[in-house]
Chains A and B, each alone.
Chain A
Amino acid sequence: MSTYKVKRRDFLKITGLTGASAALAACDMPTTVTLEEGEEEVVSYLMPEEYVIPGIGVWYASTCQQCDAGCGIIGRVREGRVLKLEGNPVSPINKGALCQIGQAALQVHYNPDRLKQPKLRQEGKLIDVTWDDAFAALKSSIGPDSGLDGSRIAWLTGTVSGHQRVLMDAVSEAVGGASHYAHETLNDTVVDKVNADVYGSANVQYKIADAQSILSFGADFLSTWGSPVHNSVQYGQFRDAPRGVLIQAEPKMTVTGGSADLWLPVRPGTEGTLAMTIAAELVASHGADATKLPKAMADQLGQYSLDSSEAQTGVAASLVKQAANFLATRAPSLVIAGGTAAAHEHGYEAVTAAAMLNVLLGNVGKTIIPVADFPYPALAPKKGDTAQLAAFAKKAKAGDISVALIAGTNPAYTAPDQLDMAAALSAVKVKVAFTEFLDETSSMADIVLPLHSDMESWGTHVASYQVADPMISLQQPLMEPLYAETRSLGDTLLDVLKLYNAEQYGPFADYYAYLRNVVSAVPAVAKEGASDEAYWQAGLQQGMLKVTAPKPFPAAIATAANDDASDALVKSADTMGFVLPVYEKNKDYPLSLIPAASSRLGDGRFANLPWLQEAPDAITKIVWNSWVEMHPATALYYGFKQGDFVEVASAEGSVKAQIYLHKGINKDAVAVPMGQGHTEYGRYATGRGVNPLKMLATTSDVQTGELALCATRVTVVSTGRNEELVKMGGSESQVGRKLVGTITADQLRRV
């Protein structure tokens, strides 16, 4: 227990709650807390033993940290152990549901390969040390006495938000201007830029449940894109009567594509052409008003006919006609683009062309709603991408980074070989890894600080995709730490800050004490009359803090008036000189490689969770390994059979895996899933399958500079070996039995 004094203005600054002026205007200190007088007593979190009733499971709310969607969870705690996670029914994000990756968060916590002891590199080897020794090493590297120019320190993280971000930023400032690079292989940098340019805000809400027809270009919104559980909840309603129709255009069938009424096998990189063709068809056959489009685009529509499009995109003209017909006749419609559609040299243009369909169909303000930024910018997510990683690598190789603070990202695994992360990291004198596992990156580190798991940590987070009124998701520990020599990232950040500013941060005994005080600083208006303690308790019970700003929020920036959106479009189209690429054949590397986002292993970070390794892939049903998806016609042409071991080679590298044949992939594409091929990530992941990210060309999206994941061309050669694939189920078809019955929508409407 500690008592301390803190000034209000300083306090607001360190809490990250100095937000947008609108929010600040109503910022009023709570009256029930003595903080206004400058004093408060802080008691560290302890689970009183009398709460534990043997044999009775009690559910506590928290927030899932497996991805940045921020689903609310409840964890069943019995005899001090967390046993089962479920979705939190009161969360507006996931409404009680939880995906397989969220379920498996327990196996991160209880993973047998978790780090239990800090490590320091001595004579080239990582040696177990105590936390105090490891922290002393950190202190001598970045502490006030290190004598280091703060600008030579860099954060390298995944997407971070909430007070974790606030404290990281505070550390950056304290050391004297450290830079922060956030890296995520699967990101929405291109989509966010298009949304900002076209709709006026990078943040848009997709009203899937309100749509009667949805056309998605490459966005696997039910599984690996956006806020998948939220989208799935909405999708369930979308399929209620009157049943909405889903059209998915993508080169390789995803989970979302598997549920599509109409699946369009678009050739990689021609998604923009397909969107323009549908726009032209809407104007030509369905009376859509081309004047809604910016002139630069409207003038080009004449170039896109159904027949010329078929040669480019590989999608039969009859299917394109059908898709346009659905969009025109089933209003309101919704067009989504992202994922593989955005992952090309001209991904920005493709996503813009798709966004244009929303303008043409009058969806802006109805099914696609631009919303304001999060009211507290200091808490908003700092979203990662590969462009930032490339910038880090460049700076590191130039010798301008002496200390790298690495947390929540594994670039030594996810970065293409062309980025040469090994050289970049070697050029950094001291690499500090804040991590729960030794992976490819942390095993290169000089100081390894083992973290509490998400089940052992406090935290606040802001979801990258805000589904409703702005809120801060609250994460609370669901059990006592398993290991004595691990600490939470928040606590460690506070410890670093105390080295620099003992006066400001000293009063906080730990990260919990800090967060508890932050909550006291939330404007009283957001607490809606509740006392500070009641607000905090409600936050713990619900796993979230509502931070409603005084004005109605979110305020849609663009309204139903499509003319406004059109103005924004005109601007963006004119400034970039809208041109779509023409698909070019490549003699040496005839096929396009789709490094497919895995619905089980993500970008590889979940490969050490046995439940997810043994969970069959949704489309191929393969477990525990990698594979190469190929169209049977392509296989026939090259002479491959199912189960053949082949080498998929780009100009930059190659991988070997077995072929799985199916007709859910474009004939000019092959897909290799992300996630496997770890060289260092514990017993479940290491030495298993292959990593397609390594062999990617470093082609970037021209407009944003983000790595174009699907822009690599490859050739496939046989290795002469064939084995049976390890997958669930023997038969690919129902051979006439009625296992999955299907009826047409016409039949459904007759009921």
Chain B
Amino acid sequence: MSLENILENWSKYRKGHEEGGYHEYEHMWGMAIDLDKCTGCNACSVACYAENNLAVVGEEKFSKGQGMHWLRIERYWDEPDLGEDKVNEYQIHGASFIPMNCQHCNAATCEPVCPVAATYHTPDGLNAQVYNRCIGSRYCSNNCPYRLRYFNFFSYYEDSWPEPLQMQLNPDISVRDKGVMEKCTFCVQRIRTAKDDAARDDRRGPGAVKDGDLKTACQQSCATQAIFFGDLLDKDSAVSKVWEKHEVALGKSSQNKSNPDKRGYRVLEGLNTDPCVMFLERVREV
């Protein structure tokens, strides 16, 4: 892909997904997160550490932004600075929490910049990372507008799991080594298991995995059931229904809503990344 080619076809390339693009998807794994139910409790994040062999890096490396939290709860204040008026001198509407994991963009900005195609789009609609193809250029994380890719600056395994903590590691997935990029996979090992189970029941190909066959680790732990996960190609799946009800559709960079008060939106959608994670707005009574 020469620079000339990229510049010439930029608009076509970036808008390609709106015109159709790849159509042979078996699944289109997607998520919806209800921010009015999310309490910011962090259970999902620790569940992700447990499921996905995420390294604990320690205070010093965390201070350098090297925390490996594939799913993190961001917290924002309505107005962090000192207000002038009497009411706004306090955060009277609480805080704003948002769980952020890889948005599995269908027009992922991380994918085209990888010099070795270590990150690519799977026929399941996943934004995948092939660890043993990755050469650690970090172009992808540089290009992710959500900052949701995590780089192994060190061989964290050397001191993240001192004996016998390593016995807890999930044998279904690898432990990543120095120089490799990693990120949320939508618990791809659980998807694989569900596919294998489906195949044993003689269900294969598109739609083989039924809604509810699997839950991601974060979704499973969520007490308020703020997280929906499933196949967006399955119109009857719980997650599809949430997307439809709140009038958010894939393949668009802005949504035309019948009612502007419908709560669905995608973060930084205007960047034309076409994320597969959709959020429902937080609601406040006053």
Contacts and interface: CB of A to CB of B under 8 A. Distances in A.
B221 to A, nearest CB: 5
Nearest to B165: A110
Nearest to B95: A258
Contact of B37 (A239, A610, A625, A633): A239
B116 interface: no
A99 B261 contact: no
A638 to B, nearest CB: 14
Interface string A712-751: 0000000000001010110111100111111111011011
A5 to B, nearest CB: 42
B97 interface: yes
A662 B91 contact: yes
A95 B69 CA distance: 26
A663 B90 contact: yes
A728 B67 contact: yes
Given A110-B168, A739-B74, A751-B261, A633 B91 contact: no
B50 A239 contact: no
A316 B86 contact: yes
B33 to A, nearest CB: 11
B208 interface: no
B77 to A, nearest CB: 5
Given A733-B79, A734-B76, A222 B261 contact: no
B283 A742 contact: yes
Nearest to B87: A316
B153 to A, nearest CB: 16
Interface in A580-638: 599-600, 610-616, 618-619, 621, 623-625, 632-633, 636
A318 B57 contact: no
Interface in A324-353: 326
B47 to A, nearest CB: 5
Given A103-B47, A741-B263, A664 B95 contact: yes
Interface in A504-536: none
Interface in A641-687: 662-664, 667, 683
Contact of B46 (A82, A100, A223, A259): A100
A111 interface: yes
Given A107-B165, A732-B80, A744 B90 contact: no
A107 B283 contact: no
Interface string B35-56: 1110111110111011100001
B283 A98 contact: no
B36 A243 contact: yes
Nearest to B258: A751
A217 to B, nearest CB: 16
A232 interface: yes
A265 B283 contact: no
A164 interface: no
A288 interface: no
Given A236-B226, A611-B56, A732 B77 contact: yes
B243 interface: no
B142 interface: no
Interface in A245-262: 245, 248, 253, 255-262
B174 interface: no
A362 interface: no
Nearest to A666: B90
B285 A245 contact: yes
A98 B86 contact: no
B173 to A, nearest CB: 11
Nearest to A87: B221
Contacts of B46: 100, 103-104, 611-612, 615
B280 to A, nearest CB: 8
Interface string A184-228: 000000000000000000000000000000000000001100001
A596 to B, nearest CB: 15
B94 A260 contact: yes
A307 to B, nearest CB: 13
A253 B58 CA distance: 26
Given A86-B221, A611-B56, A743-B263, A263 B89 contact: no
Contacts of A107: 165, 168
B165 A663 contact: no
A258 B94 contact: yes
Contacts of A624: 58-59, 62
Interface in B181-232: 217, 220-226
Nearest to B38: A259
A319 interface: yes
A401 to B, nearest CB: 37
A256 B170 contact: no
Contacts of B37: 235-236, 239
A253 B165 contact: no
B20 interface: no
A398 interface: no
A84 B50 contact: yes
B267 interface: yes
A95 B225 CA distance: 11
B286 A261 contact: yes
Nearest to A745: B285
B140 to A, nearest CB: 21
Given A619-B95, A751-B262, 9 more contacts: A98-B43, A103-B49, A256-B39, A262-B285, A611-B46, A726-B62, A740-B97, A740-B279, A741-B263
Q: Closest 4 interchain pairs by CB?
A: A236-B224, A232-B223, A97-B223, A624-B59
12 contacts: A84-B170, A100-B47, A223-B41, A235-B224, A258-B75, A610-B165, A618-B40, A621-B75, A623-B59, A625-B59, A729-B74, A748-B283
Interface of A: 78-79, 81-87, 94-100, 102-104, 106-107, 110-112, 222-223, 228-229, 232-233, 235-236, 239, 243, 245, 248, 253, 255-265, 316, 318-319, 322, 326, 482, 599-600, 610-616, 618-619, 621, 623-625, 632-633, 636, 662-664, 667, 683, 688, 724, 726, 728-729, 731-734, 737-745, 747-748, 750-751
